[in-house]
Amino acid sequence: MQKAKNLNLKIVGNGKETLLLGNGFGTDQSAWDKILPSLTTDYKVILFDLVGSGKTDPKLYSPIRYSSLFAYAEDLIELISETQSGPITYVSHSVSGMIGLLASNRRPELFKKLVFIGASPRYLNDKDYIGGFTQEALNQLYAAMETNFFGWTAGFAPIVMENKNNPDLAHSFESTLREIRPDIALSVAKTIFQSDHRQDLPHCKHEVLIIQSASDIAVPVEVGKYLEKNLSNGRYVQIQSEGHFPHISAPELVIKAMEGFI
């Protein structure tokens, strides 16, 4: 159970079927707190933190090993293998979506279904592809993180959270961002934003529910539609939420979108 220990494993609920929840960049497993009560009545739910986030030991993070999402996928495979005897449904936010995709492509027998919330195979714009960012914009983001990390978190959090009428949401996200060691945050950001996993989409044979906010500066709606088009069993659902964290800002809409799928 070493991998489970390293990833700050927590198991709640007593259902026969298992859900595994994967957090996105800048958050930890606490990001699921608002939807968790709706899941634990019917499912066993496994929570963990990605290496470099939450309560994981910073010493476990290696910028060389985690220079690609495949390393995180290997961690996920080990975690599932240690804790489960049957396939799980993987519910993921942001970068954890592609981590789950890579893991399920490599070990399909470990997975039953996938849920993507604000997931993206590529964040950079490309020919005939809208990812949401230009390389110049990302270079500016990296420079801001390196120059004044805590100043950057104060500006970044409200932009991606949106929901201006509820500033506490942005403040909460800023707090979890600030818990990440600045050099790790910068390294992880580069790994995520420079990744391109479009070529891995067709290899996924599992059913995938794609939950997309109507307004998300990090992952525009075109990305969600691209996922549906390029996944053989993808189903796109757009919810009337704003920001990159609908499971935090509009948990009831996320729960409704998942009903009938998981």
In the numeric block, the tokens 């590529």 are attached to 122
Listed in sequence order, the DSSP H helices in the chain are 2-6, 36-39, 69-83, 95-106, 135-147, 149-161, 167-178, 182-193, 221-230, 246-249, 251-258
CA distance readout (Å), 50 to 80, 115, 159: 14, 17, 23
Tokens of 75: 């961690």
Give the list of residues 6+ apart from residue 212 with CB closer than 8 angstroms, or none: 118, 219, 221, 223, 224, 236, 237, 238, 239
Q: What is the DSSP string of 133-175?
A: B-HHHHHHHHHHHHH-HHHHHHHHHHHHH--TT-HHHHHHHHH
Task: Give catalytic residue positions.
Answer: 94, 216, 244
Give the list of residues 6+ apart from residue 125 with CB closer than 8 angstroms, or none: 131, 132, 133, 134
Number of H helices, E strands in the chain: 11, 7
Facing residues of 236 across strands? 210
CA distance readout (Å), 59 to 35, 146, 159: 31, 20, 30
With beta carbons less than 8 A apart as the criterion, state whether 91 and 69 touch.
no
